[in-house]
Amino acid sequence: MHASLKEFHATEPCSEADSEVKAATYAFGLIALAKFILRLPAEVAEEELPRMKTTLISVRIFMMMNLFKNKKLTR
């Protein structure tokens, strides 16, 4: 699941309109991944979280970029 989400995020959208669809789809995938992690036993989650560090950092950057993009559009 994590690998699929990383691969999806790495691909570029075809057009600007597809960018919004991709952002919404990526957010949906992140929610699904988070719900999956919450159901893992604590020992397993402790092992998996360090592997997802780069993904979590990229999510934060992705969210900030979209926030700034939306602010520019509303001005």
Nearest to 52 by CA among 13, 19, 4, 20: 4
pLDDT digits (tens, 9 = 90+) for 21-69: 877 887 888 888 888 888 989 999 888 888 888 887 877 787 777 777 7
CA atoms within 13 A on the CB side of 6: 10
Question: Per-residue pLDDT averaged across 6-32, rounded?
Answer: 77
Residue 70 is predicted with a pLDDT of 65
Show the DSSP H helices in the chain as ranges: 2-10, 16-38, 42-48, 53-74
Nearest to 58 by CA among 12, 1, 10: 10
Is the pTM here over 0.85, yes or no? no
| CB of 24 closer than 8 Å to CB of 16 | no
